[in-house]
Structure 1
Amino acid sequence: MTALASLRLPTRAPGGARADGRRALLQPGVLIPLVVLALAVLWAVAPGLFTSQSPTETVAPSLLAPSAEHWFGTDATGRDLYARVVYGASQSIIGAIVAVAVGLVVGTALGVTAGAVGGALDEVLMRLVDVLLAIPGLLLSLSVVILLGFGTTNAAIAVGVTSIAVFARLARSRVVSVRVSDFVEAAYGSGGTFFGVLWRHVLPNSLTPVIALAALQLGSAILQISTLGFLGYGAPPPTPEWGLLIAEGRNYVATAWWLTVLPGAVVVLVVLATNRLSQAIGRKDAA
């Protein structure tokens, strides 16, 4: 009896899981990325709360260095660069959210269908996914943008198309592994229908890694949309967009470094924040 008692698993007080979740959220490695990402989203939703300057009008002499009056300096036409970065968040962040939504919805639907149904349908869908994976992402997004036309929305759709295959492969692998679990077999043995078991048991235990991937793809989508904007396939001037801002300053790197360094630093910080949150979600799922 004593030996059995020594093997007893430790118990956790009620609310312990919630307390652990709050402590994990308050860790600097998670809290700082959350603040950075929340600030970027607020820039995109309500830019007027963070600057009173116009992003498209000349407000000062050109190529002023960063100062207390103009935090990021001014560009070649005298526009406030900080205001352009803040207002540019709506193009980059919202575009990235649209891109991730396209990849998440379409890719997850394909992956779940292939993994749940199996058989010939699984083979056909996965071969289509392999074709998408074989095409370089930038080449595929450029091809879609050329077909749809230039602009932030079309660029977001193009970037979303490039991520469909990644979401489909992950969703399928998770559904296939969960589908053969004992509790799924027990659900079928208890009279559960195909769609009922899929909705109640398979999907809830399959989609957490997909959500973590969505957070990771958000950062990747910001980079890809900025790349398309840098190449001239995104928002047209004078609309502020992060990739376009970096492109506009590339001719002044030697004389006005802030035109490329500061918008580029904002892009890097936001992408790193999304990647860190994705890692935190993934570790929580693994635990």
Structure 2
Amino acid sequence: MLRHIPVGLVLAWLVIGVAVLWALIPDLFTSYSATIGVARQQLRAPSAEHWFGTDALGRDLYARIVYGAGNSLTGAFVAVGVGLIVGTALGLVAGSARSRVDGAIMRSVDVLLSIPQLLLSLSIVILLGFGTVNAAIAVGITSIASFARLARSEVVRVRSSDYVEAAFGSGGTFGRVLMRHVLPNSLTSVIGLAALQFGSAILAISTLGFLGYGAPPPTPEWGLLIAEGRNYIARAWWLTTVPGIILILVVLSANRISESFSRSRS
């Protein structure tokens, strides 16, 4: 069985596992502070002492990336959770109602889909205030429409199945059949979309952080690290290159894992 596991999938799980460990126990991976710099250590190139170099304030870049994983991954989980819970609930109501309620919900979903996600995220963050949590909520709200459409289509498909009709025919109430038969059998594809949205959420939250709408300095966050290093890109290339590579690897790994889930379901 191990011979048939793709090497790329193994590497993807390894990258995600390391990122999760960074978020959970950052002290295990570095002894440097993520917010306090060392005098006369400004803009040091990558070396044995500082693996990823140091920034303009003498802070170890590797430590800031490790501690920044907590903010970036936590924000992604919050964003996916908001989209999954709210979107699935709306799709469940719309797919089971089949009336004006369905039309009203889906027209609202169409409106959300017509607005560019970045523009909608920026508008919500401005209303809620800056910060990683607020940025995550904004990204989650932008993904509600995708979850709602998929959940509705799955609910409509399951709702017309023979075993659901048999459950109604045997005396099952609408709510009981909905929660016991329709919802559990509609979640497979929705959970697969949640896995795919995880990588997109990391990228979206990092984008908001890069634009200055995420965690405020000196809090380490991957998008903020790239933004802080762009002013020194000619003198200290590692300040933007290394966080960018880490971000790309994590997003690609999350997408690779979600792709494997999609293949296993099919």
TM-score normalised by length of structure 2 = 0.95
Aligned partner of 1:29 among 8, 20, 30: 8
- Does residue 145 of structure 2 align to residue 169 of structure 1? no
What is the aligned-residue identity percentage?
A: 69
Which blocks of at least 5 consecutive residues in structure 1 are unaligned?
Answer: 1-19
- Indicate the residue corresponding to 2:27 in structure 1: 48
Cα deviation for residue 157 of structure 1 reads 0.7
Q: Match of 1:259?
A: 239
1:203 counterpart SS class: helix
| Inter-partner Cα distance in structure 2 for 1:262 and 1:193 | 57
Residue of structure 2 aligned with 1:101, choices 76, 81, 86: 81
Q: Does 1:279 find its partner at 2:259?
A: yes
Matches within 5 A, 1:87-98: 87-98=67-78
**Could you say what secondary structure the match of 1:273 adopts?**
helix
Q: Distance in 1 between matches of 2:242 and 2:253?
A: 17
Which residue is 1:193 aligned to? 173
| Residue of structure 2 in register with 1:248 after alignment | 228
User: What is the DSSP-based 3-state SS (H/G/I as helix, E as strand, rest coil) of the residue aligned with 2:198?
Assistant: helix
Distance 2:238 2:146 in 1: 36
- Alpha-carbon distance between aligned partners in 2 of 1:74 and 1:131, rounded to the nearest angstrom: 45
Distance 1:67 1:57 in 2: 19
- SS of the aligned residue for 2:44 comes to coil
Q: How many angstroms does 1:190 deviate by?
A: 2.4
What SS does structure 2 have at the residue aligned with 1:232?
Answer: coil
Deviation per CA, 1:171-210: give whole Å up to 9, x if none.
Answer: 0011111111222222222222222222222222211111
Of the three residues 37, 55, 72, the one matched with 1:58 is: 37
Q: Which has the larger radius of gyration?
A: 1
In 1, distance between residues paired with 2:198 and 2:123?
A: 21
Which range moves more in the overlay, 152-161 or 247-256? 247-256
Distance 1:80 1:34 in 2: 26
Aligned residue in 1 for 2:60: 80
The structural deviation recorded for 1:108 is: 0.6
The equivalent of 1:181 in structure 2 is 161
Q: Distance in 1 between matches of 2:171 and 2:7?
A: 48
Note the residue ranges of structure 2 that are not aligned, 5 or more in a row: none
Which one of 190, 196, 216 corresponds to residue 210 of structure 1? 190
Q: Give 1:262 shift.
A: 0.5
Selected match of 1:236 from 208, 216, 226: 216
d(CA) in 1 for partners of 2:180, 2:215? 42
Label 1:195 to 1:281 Cα distance change in 2 as closer, same or farther (>3 A). Answer: same
Task: Report the TM-score when normalising by structure 1.
Answer: 0.89
Structure 1 Cα separation of the partners of residues 213 and 102 of structure 2: 35
Deviations 1:34-69 (A, max 9, x none): 121121111111111110100111135111111111
Following the alignment from structure 1 to structure 2, what is the Cα–Cα distance between the partners of residues 119 and 34?
44
Instruction: Give the alignment partner of residue 148 of structure 1, picking from 112, 128, 134.
Output: 128
Any idea what the Cα deviations from partners look like across 1:126-165, whole Å, max 9, x if unmatched? 0111111111101111111110111111111111110111
3-state DSSP of counterpart to 2:96: helix
SS in 1 for 2:90: helix
